[in-house]
Chains A and B, each alone.
Chain A
């Protein structure tokens, strides 16, 4: 009889080994799927995992692009993870991302066409406040009325999406865009742009900011009182109360923090790679980041690794599409498998498998 037994301490060996095993399992299961579709499985998995990193023609461009694609995921996931550690479940980062971008965009466009150094910093603040405010709503409803923050934050995603459609057709629509939906392009408005820092790489301020936030989060969790409170609350609310944690304040802090980081991710994405606020501005970073946070075991380093892995499969998947004619649906299913394996094998780090003879029953 197989039995799971919790480990006293997470196994360091398995922390490294499980993702490797999960990737191998995915290659086998995904390979079988590709073979069924009549695609060479070796070539397919090689293109997804290998080509973006080592293909002689593409890797020089694809490598930094992995960082660019991973940056918003990591930024959002870091914010979420701090709340998740305290059992505060913000799953509405997608909405906070959208509202941060809208707030930043509105501030930037209000100054158009003024050329001044302070516009971008103001947009930064607007993105932060926009996201934090959208995160504050579930926090307030939770602390005042006890409304479940999972559900409120999720509902607010849809409100934000409809609001986005409305503003990109309405008051933020580019007046010089001959009636087409979407705002002005921020890449073409220098004072509001978040341009490429190193030519040809696509690396922008948001990537640097994400790295900075990872370091900050690490320090926060490791050394700061707030990090200690968060962890304690996650383990036992009672113990936390005894040691002087104010759950109301902590809930508000966590939701606003994760909202702010999501809002900033939206702001950096809007002013940099995306350029424009359109009806389809959001592409699901807020939801993917939840998965990234869990895959990274809510730890800043783990989240960074998980974010990079997700970004790699996105970019490798695109290469697979035009190099091997893989359908995008197959890549989506492949990513789903990868997530399943990563999530299902995670227990190896926290549990020990014991073979036992069944005595009772």
Chain B
């Protein structure tokens, strides 16, 4: 009997000690597999960086390949029920489910990526990838020989259209003859189709490829064709050591560390974060030595100007494709228009598919 009591006391003691140092439970929900080498991969890298930075203070877990809609709402509810204190929902389609679940669990904090709905316990965050697109647009405009840039696009949504416009404007600024050929593959991830699209663009004379799809297929094709390409979401130089000029890297780690720390400190508040190169949420990969030194310098200067806020990639004068004025000289685009961007800027040929 005494023994049992002692055991019970010991148990209670350890239980109370452990509750003092109870690690914060941080959950992640991913739309793709962590091995996609694109969108989900980089979020998971962010999670790993978070674990490395905060160590024992936190405990992370994730669920991958969760379809948007009903399934995500269930997964989020179960994560909240099982004691997660902070949950990152890393795809646009998780927006309404996140808001629904957040209503039911006011004590759990949610961070939703790329959406526009907030609540007291739901913050949103996204990255200004168009800043990175401006840099690669500039490099492409300077490096291209054929003056044809190929762009592999996924779905006609504002995020993608914004990227195309940004890249085009900055290529055009340094090379008035440049032409951008855009191919919509209507998929985020289909290596064979992305490869076909890359090949079609090369056959049409493109000597530099950009992509807004997830797989590194186009990089492979560019390498084989002896042309250039840019990495998307992560450094893809392994897939094309000669083709890879630089990459736009989604760097979520610092944000995850900052926000998770805020929860630990009790200073977390809801809000909307749209960070870019300045906050290092968007990072440029190492520049290949295939880029001439002076172009590298220009690109670094552009990166620095964007980072310290001296330059905004959407600064007027800019007209829409139909010739109507959008931004006056020196005018800077407001975030609202950028977020809902559904038009090409002047000079891009073709229509946005509907």
Q: Do A and B bind each other?
A: yes
Question: Which A residues are closer than 8 A to B by beta carbons?
Answer: 57-58, 61-62, 65, 68-69, 162, 165, 169-170, 178-182, 185, 187, 202, 269, 272-276, 278-281, 283, 315, 318-319, 321-323, 325, 327-329
Chain A, residue nearest B31 (CB): A280
State the CA gap A279–B341 with chains docked (Å).
Answer: 19
**A180 CB contact (under 8 Å) in B66, B69, B158, B186:** B158
Chain B, residue nearest A325 (CB): B61
State the CA gap A169–B154 with chains docked (Å).
Answer: 12
State the CA gap A61–B157 with chains docked (Å).
Answer: 36
| Contact (A322, B354) CB under 8 Å given A165-B186, A178-B116 | no
Q: Which of B79-87, B244-252, B326-334 contacts A (4 or more CB under 8 A)?
A: B79-87
Chain A, residue nearest B92 (CB): A180
**A179 CB contact (under 8 Å) in B63, B84, B93, B340:** B340
B280 at the interface (CB under 8 A from A): no
Question: Which B residues are closer than 8 A to A by beta carbons?
Answer: 27, 33-34, 61-71, 73-75, 77-79, 81-84, 92-93, 96, 100, 116, 155-158, 186, 339-342, 353-354
| Contact (A280, B67) CB under 8 Å given A181-B155, A321-B62 | yes
State the CA gap A270–B33 with chains docked (Å).
Answer: 25
State the CA gap A162–B193 with chains docked (Å).
Answer: 15
State the CA gap A274–B74 with chains docked (Å).
Answer: 11
Contact between A278 and B69 (Cβ–Cβ < 8 Å)?
yes
Residues of chain B with a CB closer than 8 A to A69's CB: 74
Residues of chain B with a CB closer than 8 A to A275's CB: 69-70, 96
Chain B, residue nearest A269 (CB): B70
Chain A, residue nearest B343 (CB): A179
Contact between A322 and B27 (Cβ–Cβ < 8 Å)?
yes
Q: What is the minimal beta-carbon distance from B263 to any residue of chain A, in angstroms?
A: 18
Q: What is the minimal beta-carbon distance from A284 to any residue of chain B, in angstroms?
A: 9
Contact between A323 and B96 (Cβ–Cβ < 8 Å)?
no
- 7 additional A-B pairs beyond A274-B70, A322-B62, beta carbons within 8 Å, are A65-B74, A187-B96, A279-B155, A280-B93, A315-B74, A322-B63, A325-B61
Chain B, residue nearest A321 (CB): B63
**B78 CB contact (under 8 Å) in A62, A162, A181:** A62
Contact between A57 and B83 (Cβ–Cβ < 8 Å)?
yes
State the CA gap A269–B93 with chains docked (Å).
Answer: 16
Residues of chain A with a CB closer than 8 A to B75's CB: 318, 322
Contact between B158 and A322 (Cβ–Cβ < 8 Å)?
no
The winner among A162, A274, A325 for most chain B CB atoms within 10 A is A274
Q: What is the minimal beta-carbon distance from A300 to any residue of chain B, in angstroms?
A: 24
Contact between A169 and B156 (Cβ–Cβ < 8 Å)?
yes
Contact between A319 and B78 (Cβ–Cβ < 8 Å)?
yes
Q: What is the minimal beta-carbon distance from A209 to any residue of chain B, in angstroms?
A: 16
Q: What is the minimal beta-carbon distance from A103 to any residue of chain B, in angstroms?
A: 18
Q: What is the minimal beta-carbon distance from B158 to any residue of chain A, in angstroms?
A: 4
State the CA gap A272–B34 with chains docked (Å).
Answer: 29
Residues of chain B with a CB closer than 8 A to A279's CB: 155
Contact between A178 and B96 (Cβ–Cβ < 8 Å)?
no
Residues of chain B with a CB closer than 8 A to A322's CB: 27, 61-63, 75, 78-79, 82, 84
State the CA gap A273–B68 with chains docked (Å).
Answer: 11
State the CA gap A319–B27 with chains docked (Å).
Answer: 12
**A318 CB contact (under 8 Å) in B74, B93, B116, B340:** B74
**B158 CB contact (under 8 Å) in A65, A68, A178, A187:** A178
State the CA gap A274–B93 with chains docked (Å).
Answer: 11
Contact between A278 and B96 (Cβ–Cβ < 8 Å)?
no
Residues of chain A with a CB closer than 8 A to B341's CB: 179
| Contact (A170, B74) CB under 8 Å given A180-B157, A274-B69, A322-B61 | no
Chain A, residue nearest B186 (CB): A165
Contact between B69 and A178 (Cβ–Cβ < 8 Å)?
no
| Contact (A318, B78) CB under 8 Å given A283-B71, A328-B33 | yes
Contact between A273 and B70 (Cβ–Cβ < 8 Å)?
yes
Contact between B67 and A283 (Cβ–Cβ < 8 Å)?
yes
State the CA gap A179–B186 with chains docked (Å).
Answer: 16
Residues of chain A with a CB closer than 8 A to B156's CB: 169
Nearest 9 A-B pairs (CB), nearest first?
A: A273-B70, A178-B340, A274-B69, A322-B61, A179-B340, A283-B67, A179-B158, A321-B63, A179-B342
Residues of chain A with a CB closer than 8 A to B70's CB: 68, 269, 272-275
Residues of chain B with a CB closer than 8 A to A178's CB: 116, 158, 339-340
State the CA gap A187–B73 with chains docked (Å).
Answer: 13
- Could you show 28 A-B contacts with beta carbons less than 8 Å apart? A61-B81, A68-B74, A162-B186, A165-B155, A169-B155, A178-B116, A178-B158, A178-B339, A179-B158, A180-B92, A181-B157, A275-B69, A276-B96, A278-B93, A279-B155, A280-B67, A281-B69, A315-B74, A318-B66, A318-B74, A319-B82, A321-B63, A323-B61, A323-B82, A327-B64, A328-B33, A328-B63, A329-B33
Residues of chain B with a CB closer than 8 A to A327's CB: 34, 64
Residues of chain A with a CB closer than 8 A to B339's CB: 178-179
Chain A, residue nearest B70 (CB): A273
Residues of chain A with a CB closer than 8 A to B93's CB: 182, 278, 280
Contact between B116 and A276 (Cβ–Cβ < 8 Å)?
no
Contact between A185 and B96 (Cβ–Cβ < 8 Å)?
yes
State the CA gap A303–B62 with chains docked (Å).
Answer: 32
| Contact (A58, B155) CB under 8 Å given A275-B69, A321-B64 | no
Chain B, residue nearest A270 (CB): B69
Chain A, residue nearest B63 (CB): A321
Residues of chain A with a CB closer than 8 A to B74's CB: 65, 68-69, 202, 315, 318
Chain A, residue nearest B354 (CB): A170
Residues of chain A with a CB closer than 8 A to B71's CB: 283
